[in-house]
Amino acid sequence: MAVTSVIQLDGVSKTFGRGKRRVEALKSVNLEIAPGQVYGFLGPNGAGKTTTIRILLNLVRATAGGIRVMGADPSRDPSVLRKVGAQVESPSFYGYLSGRANLQVLARTSGLNDKARIDQLLEQVGLAARAEQRVSGYSLGMRQRLGLAAALLTNPQLLIFDEPTNGLDPAGIQEMRVFIRNLVDTEGKTVFLSSHLLNEVEQLCDRVAIIHRGALIREGPVTELLGEQSRVRIEAEPVEAAQAALSERWLVTVEEGALWVQAQRDSIPEVVRCLTAGSIQVYHVGEEHLTLEDYFLSVTQGETVE
Ligand SMILES: Nc1ncnc2c1ncn2[C@@H]1O[C@H](COP(=O)(O)OP(=O)(O)OP(=O)(O)O)[C@@H](O)[C@H]1O
Ligand SMILES: [Mg+2]
């Protein structure tokens, strides 16, 4: 049977602490992730991203709700997690061992004996030159890369990464992006990743869910979420008459002689008809997409930490 969704959350809630210390980290989250894509889980600090990922990996129990990972409930059937590669906040390694030795230890515990695979992974994540160095001397970015190699060791179909570019420099971020896209585009895997880096999600992900204060506030293809927030810039004369004509149906502002209309792309013909019907001269019509960043800031009111 083909798996139609690799991750499914049904009304998942998580409460930490009691009384005054009670924190509702997740509030009835529903999420369904189809295979074969990079799925972004976007939210400001404290939104509940890591908590969700920890629940998926059976590191934390949900307070309520149903969880399915590759078709099974990881709290009842943890063996399903063998099919999942994961990297959660600051992976722990043996500091006194080299990067390569750490991967060898992990490979052995997974019953793997594949030296070539370790070489290939070290190469892929850009650690080949530093593989013999002790992890205690690794930078944050190098640890991050080693964590990625560890997640890929058993060649899992589903990868779950919590803020995978955390600690990487701009070149490293770019490399990581290409690397993650490749996992999906050429290796046919599914990647679920969390991020608070908006432009990153925009550039890397096919779909995105936005989580805010433990609640899912938007979900959809990245392109669709962007389309949801487009503005139309119009040059027309006389400006006052144009504004009056459009204001009956759309939100219109005038900046530096141009009209800005809050409207979707598919309303543009109607906007133009409305202007020409009023004998207004139209010189220019252009659509401007808000970036996911603008969008994200508008739905979360620019909030970063609760
Ligand atoms: N073990 C815990 N005990 C108590 N509260 C917790 C615990 N883990 C998380 N929380 C709380 O749950 C909420 C969500 O935290 P979580 O770590 O999931 O956020 P996040 O989206 O991963 O944030 P960040 O971007 O900062 O990593 C926060 O209010 C946090 O303080
Ligand atoms: Mg987190």
- Closest approach atom of ligand 1 to CA 54: 18
What is the gyration radius of the CA atoms in the chain, in angstroms? 24
Q: At what angle do helices 140-152 and 99-109 cross, to 10 degrees?
A: 30
Number of other CB atoms surrounding residue 52 within 10 Å:
31
The whole-number pLDDT of residue 112 equals 79
CA 37 from centroid of its chain's CA atoms: 11
Task: Give the mean model confidence (pLDDT) for residues 232-248.
Answer: 93
> Which residues, including other chains, have CB under 8 Å from residue 163's CB and lie 6 or more apart?
49, 89, 193, 194, 195, 196
The whole-number pLDDT of residue 301 equals 62
* Distance (Å) from CA 87 to ligand 2 centroid: 12
User: Among 162-166, 227-231, 262-266, where is mean pLDDT lowest?
Assistant: 227-231
> According to CATH, what is the number of the domain 230-289?
3.30.70
- Closest approach atom of ligand 1 to CA 89: 27
pLDDT band at 54 (very low <50, low <70, confident <90, very high): very high
The whole-number pLDDT of residue 227 equals 62
pLDDT band at 38 (very low <50, low <70, confident <90, very high): very high
The dihedral formed by the CA atoms of 220, 223, 228 and 234, expressed in degrees to the nearest 10: 180
How many Å apart are CA 286 and CA 293, to the nearest integer? 20
The whole-number pLDDT of residue 88 equals 84
Strands (E), 213-295: 215-221, 230-237, 251-255, 258-262, 281-289
- Asked if pLDDT for residue 10 goes beyond 90, the answer is yes
How many Å apart are CA 186 and CA 124, to the nearest integer? 14
Site to substitute for ligand 1 among 21, 51, 52, most atoms within 8 A of C-beta: 51
Domain ranges of the chain: 7-219, 230-289
pLDDT band at 303 (very low <50, low <70, confident <90, very high): low
pLDDT, averaged across the chain: 88
Residue whose token pair is 């969880």? 67
- Asked if pLDDT for residue 289 goes beyond 90, the answer is no
> According to CATH, what is the number of the domain 7-219?
3.40.50.300
Whether the full predicted model's pTM is greater than 0.85, yes or no, is no
pLDDT band at 306 (very low <50, low <70, confident <90, very high): very low
> Which residues, including other chains, have CB under 8 Å from residue 87's CB and lie 6 or more apart?
144, 147, 148, 150, 151, 160, 161, 162, 164
The whole-number pLDDT of residue 85 equals 93
Higher-confidence residue: 289 or 216? 216
Which residues, in sequence order, are bridge partners of residue 16?
23
**Percentage, residues of the chain above pLDDT 70:** 92
The whole-number pLDDT of residue 3 equals 59
How many Å apart are CA 9 and CA 160, to the nearest integer? 15
The whole-number pLDDT of residue 53 equals 96
Q: Please check whether residue 67 is in contact with residue 73, taking contact to mean a CB–CB distance below 8 angstroms.
A: yes
Q: In the structure, which protein residues have their CB atom closer than 6 angstroms to any atom of ligand 1? A: 16-17, 23, 25, 43, 45-51, 196
Q: Please check whether residue 14 is in contact with residue 25, taking contact to mean a CB–CB distance below 8 angstroms.
A: yes
- Closest approach atom of ligand 1 to CA 43: 21
pLDDT in tens, 75-126: 999 999 989 999 887 668 899 999 999 999 988 887 877 788 899 999 988 8
Q: Count Cα neighbours of 303 within 13 Å in the Cβ-side half-sphere.
A: 13
Higher-confidence residue: 151 or 3? 151
pLDDT in tens, 197-224: 777 888 899 999 999 889 998 899 988 7
The whole-number pLDDT of residue 305 equals 44
The whole-number pLDDT of residue 302 equals 54
pLDDT in tens, 119-151: 999 998 889 999 999 999 998 888 888 999 999
Q: Please check whether residue 35 is in contact with residue 183, taking contact to mean a CB–CB distance below 8 angstroms.
A: no
Task: Give the mean model confidence (pLDDT) for residues 1-11.
Answer: 84
- Asked if pLDDT for residue 55 goes beyond 50, the answer is yes
Higher-confidence residue: 249 or 228? 249
Q: Please check whether residue 46 is in contact with residue 18, taking contact to mean a CB–CB distance below 8 angstroms.
A: no
* Distance (Å) from CA 276 to ligand 2 centroid: 52
pLDDT band at 226 (very low <50, low <70, confident <90, very high): low
